């Protein structure tokens, strides 16, 4: 427990890494998708059909 207090950032990294892997797996995120998500972008280039 003392070591967690001494290294809170590393402990948080381990915790977040585990959470991230679980969420990324269940939501089908790619690494690029996860990186782009906070900025409203994904690595899947999408477009809508052109009707003309």
Q: Compute the least distance from the CB of residue 41 to another protein, in Å.
A: 12
Q: Which is nearer to another protein, 39 or 44 (CB)?
A: 44
Per the document, the length of the chain is 52
Distance between CA atoms of 52 and 33, rounded to whole angstroms? 30
Q: Would you count residue 12 as binding another protein (CB under 8 A)?
A: no
Q: What angle do CA 2, 8, 1 make, to 5 degrees?
A: 20
Both tokens of 5, joined, read 């207090």
Q: Which residues sit at the interface with another protein, rule CB under 8 A?
A: 3-4, 6-7, 10-11, 13-14, 17-18, 20-22, 24-34, 42-49, 51-52
């Amino acid at each position: 427990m003392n070591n967690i207090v001494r290294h809170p950032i590393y402990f948080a990294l381990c915790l977040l890494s585990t959470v991230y892997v679980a969420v990324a797996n269940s939501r089908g995120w790619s690494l690029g998708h996860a990186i782009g998500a906070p900025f409203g972008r994904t690595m899947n280039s999408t477009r809508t059909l052109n009707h003309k």
